[in-house]
Amino acid sequence: MSFEEKMNESGEDEKSKRLNISLLRYMWEASPLYFKESYHTFFRNLSVLKSFSDNDIRIFTTYLHRREFETNEAIFKYGDSGYGFYFIHSGSVSIQEPGGEEIVHLEKSKFFGELALLDEGHRRPATAIATTPTVLLGIFKPDLDKMLESHPVLGAKFVHESAMILANKIGHMTKEIMALRRKLEALEKKN
Amino acid sequence: MKKNQIVKVYLFFAILIAALAFMVKFPRLTLPFGFSYILYLMINPVASRILRGNNQQRIIYSLFFTACACLLVVPLVATLYNAETDFKQLLKHIPELRVKLQFKYLQFRELFIDKTGVKLSLDPVTYIMRNVESQGANLLSSIPTLVSAILEWMLLVPLFLYFFFKESKTLKVKFMEFIPNSIFEKTYVLFSQFNTKFGEYIIAKFIEATILGSLVTLGLILVSFPYPFILGIVAGVTNILPYVGPIIGFVPAIAVALLSQNPDVTLLSATLIYLIANAVDMVLVFPLLVSKIVNLHPILVVVSVLAGGQIGGAVGMIVVIPMVAFIQLLFKEIYQDLNAQ
């Protein structure tokens, strides 16, 4: 699909476009000549948004919320109602069990909380805590609804990417469960 | 939670309460501001739909919405013009109406003495008419204040509306940054849900009132009932109030039917028209437009409307329903959180 087609698909008519300064800025920031890190370069480097064009990323970033967290500040707690999907722009996050035991440690460019966007009445299955001063870029359920309303193609792409993340996680979990089952069976045989 | 995070939460709620107190203290500013916000919520979905897409789509959408607005506005202006004529006629007939009412009451008093033997010493007709006259005089004396208020609103509402359209996105981002992290997700989601529901509810009620008012007016014109336009407007406006509205809207039609000497003007025909219009509203318009937006228990609706009327008059009665729906949502969230803990 050509760039023009993508532009038309996401609701932009090339004929009607005047000089769009913000678009030019993002195109400049996306170019190899530009080194300073921006939201655009941040998302350009994320593998989960690989199907997004530059223009898609430009629109996508308008739906994001920047949240700053101090060291040891809770992002969300186990059992909280969840509505947001977060990308780590800088800093690090520890995902913990209710008892405080760490499940996974996430660094810059990682993401978490994607289930909250797709699940109705979602409750957080773990606690997330910032382990250093952290900047997160979050997208929330109302933002996704608005995106699906105003930019349906982009919204569908993002839902698809989120579903792919979940599918990958389920695939990993299935493999782990099978490996554990094999270990259990081996132990049972030994005994 | 760290000490500075707790301070942030307290500060946030303190500023919210201060803002609410400011709004209560300065109603001259708050009311047009609130009205502009409601208008913004009503216009915004249409505007964003028009601005979406390419030039051709924009033209088609603009034409479609202009046609819809004309379809709504032209009959509304015509109705208002005819309603003015109706109203002037009604004013002319007030002395005649007073005599008729007095006569009907005397007939009733005679009948009451015949049946019960008790003589009624009350004179409700004089009392009602005196009240109507004094209210009319009050209205006349308050005209200068009313005119200045209208002029003030004519200046403030477009200004606030322009401000909402231009700055709402920036303002929203600033407001969101100000919300403490610990309550951000919930506050943001509830705030978005409230905005959407409130806008949808006001639009739905407006459309519902227009449809019902039009049906009543058309029906009354068909049976040559007097004052069809003014009765249609009253039926439409009162219909905004749930449950009690249709009954209040029907009362003027009963009065007109009882006092008319024209044999064609019967209470039965008026009753049938109001019943049909309300049936169409209950069976078609309400389930399709309103019930999906707010789903409250009927008793809660009646109690809320009464409380809303007590606090904020007619505006309070309309605004209270989405407010209660929001409070219900808020309590549901808190209850679920407590259960999860």
| Residue bearing the bigger pLDDT, B216 or B5 | B216
- Asked whether residue B249 carries a pLDDT value surpassing 80, the answer given is yes
Q: Is A70 on the interface with B (CB under 8 A)?
A: yes
- Give the one of A11, A82, A83 whose C-beta lies nearest to B53's C-beta: A11
For the stretch B129-166, pLDDT in tens is 777 777 767 776 777 777 788 888 888 888 998 888 88
Q: Is A43 on the interface with B (CB under 8 A)?
A: no
Interface test with A, best of B181, B183, B334 (most A CBs within 10 A): B181
pLDDT, position B119:
75
CA separation for the pair B226, B104 (Å, rounded): 20
Shortest distance, CA B334 to any CA of chain A (angstroms): 10
Greatest mean pLDDT range, A137-146, B5-14, B138-147: A137-146
Q: Predicted confidence band at A50 (pLDDT cuts at 50, 70, 90)?
A: confident
User: Inter-chain contact A80–B182, Cβ cutoff 8 Å?
Assistant: no
Mean per-residue pLDDT for A179-189?
92
pLDDT, position B194:
83
Six-digit token pair at B313? 């008059």
Q: What is the torsional sign of CA B69, B70, B72, B73?
A: positive
- Asked whether residue A2 carries a pLDDT value surpassing 80, the answer given is no
- Asked whether residue B220 carries a pLDDT value surpassing 80, the answer given is yes
- Give the one of A15, A69, A150 whose C-beta lies nearest to B181's C-beta: A69
- Give the one of A69, A70, A140 whose C-beta lies nearest to B189's C-beta: A140
- Asked whether residue B27 carries a pLDDT value surpassing 60, the answer given is yes
Total domains in chain A come to 1
What Cα–Cα distance (Å) separates residue A176 from each residue in A172, B7, B119, B162? 6, 44, 94, 57
B20: left (phi over 0), alpha (psi -120 to 50) or beta: alpha
Question: Which residues of chain A does B56 touch, with a Cβ-Cβ cutoff of 8 Å?
Answer: 13
pLDDT, position A175:
93
Q: Predicted confidence band at B324 (pLDDT cuts at 50, 70, 90)?
A: confident
DSSP-based three-state secondary structure for A130: strand
Q: Is A17 on the interface with B (CB under 8 A)?
A: no
- Give the one of B52, B177, B196 whose C-beta lies nearest to A150's C-beta: B52
- Asked whether residue A179 carries a pLDDT value surpassing 90, the answer given is yes
- Asked whether residue A95 carries a pLDDT value surpassing 90, the answer given is yes
Interface test with B, best of A9, A73, A78 (most B CBs within 10 A): A73
- Asked whether residue B109 carries a pLDDT value surpassing 60, the answer given is yes
Six-digit token pair at B256? 């007109």
Shortest distance, CA B249 to any CA of chain A (angstroms): 38
| Residue bearing the bigger pLDDT, B79 or B21 | B21
pLDDT, position A11:
52
- Asked whether residue A9 carries a pLDDT value surpassing 70, the answer given is no
pLDDT, position A105:
93
Mean per-residue pLDDT for A43-69?
86
- Asked whether residue A35 carries a pLDDT value surpassing 60, the answer given is no
| Strands A127-130, A93-96: pairing kind | antiparallel
Question: Which residues of chain A does B180 touch, with a Cβ-Cβ cutoff of 8 Å?
Answer: none
Shortest distance, CA A48 to any CA of chain B (angstroms): 23
CA separation for the pair A127, A134 (Å, rounded): 16
Q: Predicted confidence band at A59 (pLDDT cuts at 50, 70, 90)?
A: confident
Outline where chain A has alpha helix (H).
3-9, 21-30, 39-44, 54-61, 115-118, 141-150, 152-190
Q: What percent of chain B has pLDDT over 90?
A: 2
Contact A120, A75 (CB under 8 A): no
Shortest distance, CA A143 to any CA of chain B (angstroms): 9
Nearest CA in chain A to B176: A65
Q: Is B186 on the interface with A (CB under 8 A)?
A: yes
Q: What percent of chain B has pLDDT over 70?
A: 88
- Asked whether residue B239 carries a pLDDT value surpassing 60, the answer given is yes
Q: What percent of chain A has pLDDT over 90?
A: 30
For the stretch B305-323, pLDDT in tens is 778 777 767 667 777 887 8
| Residue bearing the bigger pLDDT, A88 or B326 | A88
| Residue bearing the bigger pLDDT, B261 or A179 | A179
Question: Which residues of chain A does B185 touch, with a Cβ-Cβ cutoff of 8 Å?
Answer: 76, 80-84, 140
ipTM of the complex: 0.72
Question: Which residues of chain B does A70 touch, with a Cβ-Cβ cutoff of 8 Å?
Answer: 2, 5
Domain of residue A10, residue span? 3-190
Question: Which residues of chain A does B333 touch, with a Cβ-Cβ cutoff of 8 Å?
Answer: 81
Contact A66, B328 (CB under 8 A): no
Helix axis angle, B181-222 to B27-51, nearest 10°: 90
pLDDT, position B8:
80
pLDDT, position B5:
75
Six-digit token pair at A103? 């499940």
Up-side HSE of residue B147: CA atoms within 13 Å toward CB? 5
Q: Is A4 on the interface with B (CB under 8 A)?
A: no
Mean per-residue pLDDT for A80-88?
90
Shortest distance, CA B293 to any CA of chain A (angstroms): 16
Q: Predicted confidence band at A176 (pLDDT cuts at 50, 70, 90)?
A: very high
| Residue bearing the bigger pLDDT, B297 or B225 | B225
Mean per-residue pLDDT for A135-154?
89
Q: Predicted confidence band at A3 (pLDDT cuts at 50, 70, 90)?
A: very low
| Residue bearing the bigger pLDDT, A26 or A155 | A155
Q: Is B48 on the interface with A (CB under 8 A)?
A: yes
Q: Predicted confidence band at A82 (pLDDT cuts at 50, 70, 90)?
A: confident
Supply the CATH number for residue A172's domain. 2.60.120.10
Q: Which distant-in-sequence residues (6+ apart) come within 8 Å of A55 by Cβ?
A: A3, A6, A7, A10, A12, A23
According to DSSP, residue A63 is labeled T
Six-digit token pair at B181? 């992290």
Q: Which of A147-161, B66-80, B310-324 has the lowest mean pLDDT?
A: B66-80
Please, what is the average pLDDT of chain B?
79
- Asked whether residue B72 carries a pLDDT value surpassing 70, the answer given is no
A190 bridge partner residues: none
Q: Predicted confidence band at B341 (pLDDT cuts at 50, 70, 90)?
A: low
Q: Give Dmax over CA atoms of chain B in angstroms.
A: 83
**Amino acid in position A13:** D
For the stretch A108-133, pLDDT in tens is 889 998 888 888 878 888 999 999 99
